[in-house]
Amino acid sequence: MQTKLVKSILAFQPLFPVPIYFAVLIGCPPVWLGLMIAVIPLIIRFRYTRRIFTRTPFDIPILLFLGGVVIGVIVAPDKGVASGALCSTIASVLVYYGITENSRATRKYWLCTAGTMCFITVVLSLWFLYQSDHRVLFFNQWAFNLLAGLPRYTGPVMQLNTIGALVTVVIPPLFVFFFYRYKFIIKLTALLLWIFFTEILFLSDSGAGWIAFAISLAFMLVCWRKWLIWIFVPLGGLFTAAAIMSYDKMEWLRITFSSSSLTSRIDYWQNTIALLKGRTIFTGLGLGSWHEIYSNRYGDPVPHVHNSYLQLYCDTGILGMVAMVLAGIIIVRLSLNLVKLSKHNSDYWIGIGLIGSVIAGAVFAMFDVTTTVTYITAAGYIYLALPLLWIGAALISVVHMRNNVQ
């Protein structure tokens, strides 16, 4: 029989890998200690259930991906950077399984989980307003001025596209609370958070985030009322045409959707494809190695390739790309099954919100790297895997597992 302590440890299992991220990023605690802490729930779960993980829809892609990661470590020129990426990748996988292992938890548990994620996002949003090396325009200057008097420190900052990617994937699940009969206080809280994160996205001036937000919002509204597609398609065309015609007349539009930024990204992509020719087309460039190899070849110290899919290829080679394609097929299959649930089922709207997050993240990933972060220091750089993608996949798996969707 499980004690309250054991139940608490298993409930908080998604948080146990967090020390690994701190170990890689700031060196405290030591990596070995972070790994020991992370496996505590696995040992306890095996003690009571004789299994470490429950089977999930993404097990095979995860195994293939980890195989690509191992190959990436082997071919990486800098083993120190690669080992940090490996440890944080393992942490992300453990976060995924920590979430899916609690798939049968009560609604109260998942509301607390959602509240924790929103609290973290609120803190990071305020950090963005406080510390970011922001792009000040006429519509966001007032927000940055609110915290302008506070002292700054010389540490990592929250970039506009980083916060844009985060709030873009958090917004959709909050939006769907409006379509189901939740308690008033829950709906009000979701509404206030949705307004806050949407405003942060607007203030960030993240063009990719704006596009991803619009596409995910249109998807969710069409799921609510299918006839809206006949409005959104021509409306999207009109907005695009208006933006093109006004591009040379509005300075803020030229800054937000900078043509030079797009052309520089295309240069990064083309140069990276050139680097991948030869044997590296199978193995990739090595886990966390793109920044070093690209800088040495082209003399441009850009931190990443500005495309999550190409970054994944560089890190894990063909095996990682196969894993991503397979995971994409699984997400499409699960999504098609989830939208067949009754609209009177709360999990239907939760599923729609999560699919909206996946759509927003997939669009954003075309223009930036949202799965890892390259933190450049005077002594070198740190390559850290982020758990954002893993959390999204885990939550979709949970909705699938709770409804026994086949």
Query: pLDDT in tens for each of the 406 residues of the chain?
Result: 568 888 889 999 999 999 999 999 888 899 999 999 999 999 999 988 888 888 999 999 999 999 999 999 999 999 999 999 999 999 999 999 999 999 988 888 998 999 999 999 999 998 888 877 677 888 888 888 887 777 776 666 778 888 999 999 999 999 988 777 677 888 889 999 999 999 999 999 999 999 999 999 999 999 888 999 999 889 989 988 998 888 888 888 888 898 889 999 999 999 999 998 876 789 999 999 999 999 999 988 888 999 999 999 999 999 999 999 999 999 999 999 888 888 777 788 889 999 999 999 999 999 999 999 998 877 789 999 999 889 999 999 999 888 764 4
Structure tokens at 397: 């798996």
CA–CA distance from 152 to each of 1, 144, 157 (Å)? 52, 13, 10
User: Considering only CA atoms, which of 36, 43, 193, 16 is closest in space to residue 120?
Assistant: 193
Q: How far apart are CA 286 and CA 280, in angstroms?
A: 9
The predicted pLDDT at position 406 comes to 42
Strand partners, 375: 382
Separation CA 309–CA 276 (nearest Å): 14
What is the CA 368 to chain-centroid distance, rounded?
11
Q: What is the pLDDT of residue 171?
A: 95
Residue reference for tokens 């944080």: 88
The beta-strand segments (E) located in 71-172 are: none
Q: Do 158 and 128 contact (CB within 8 A), yes or no?
A: yes
How much is the pTM? 0.93
> Hey, what are 370's tokens?
């949202």
Spatial distance between the Cα atoms of 383 and 374, rounded to a whole number of angstroms: 5
Backbone φ/ψ region at 153: left (φ over 0), alpha (ψ -120 to 50), beta? beta
d(CA 197, CA 156): 21
Can you state the angle between helices 184-204 and 160-175, rounded to 10 degrees?
150
Distance CA 162, CA 355 (A): 20
Per-residue confidence (pLDDT) for residue 405, from 0 to 100 = 46
d(CA 341, CA 335): 10
Q: Is 156 exposed, middle or buried (0-12, 13-18, 19+ CB in 10 A)?
A: middle
Per-residue pLDDT, 354: 93
Length of the chain: 406
Q: Do the beta carbons of residue 342 and residue 351 sit within 8 Å? A: no
How far is it, in rounded angstroms, from Cα 69 to Cα 372?
A: 13
Q: How far apart are CA 405 and CA 343, in angstroms?
A: 15
CA angle (43 as vertex; 38, 48 as ends), nearest 5: 140
pLDDT of the residue at 224 = 87
Show contacts of 4-8: CB within 8 Å, 24+ apart: 6/44, 6/48
Which residues lie below 8 Å from residue 208, measured CB to CB, with a gap of 6+?
Answer: 161, 164, 165, 363, 364, 366, 367, 368
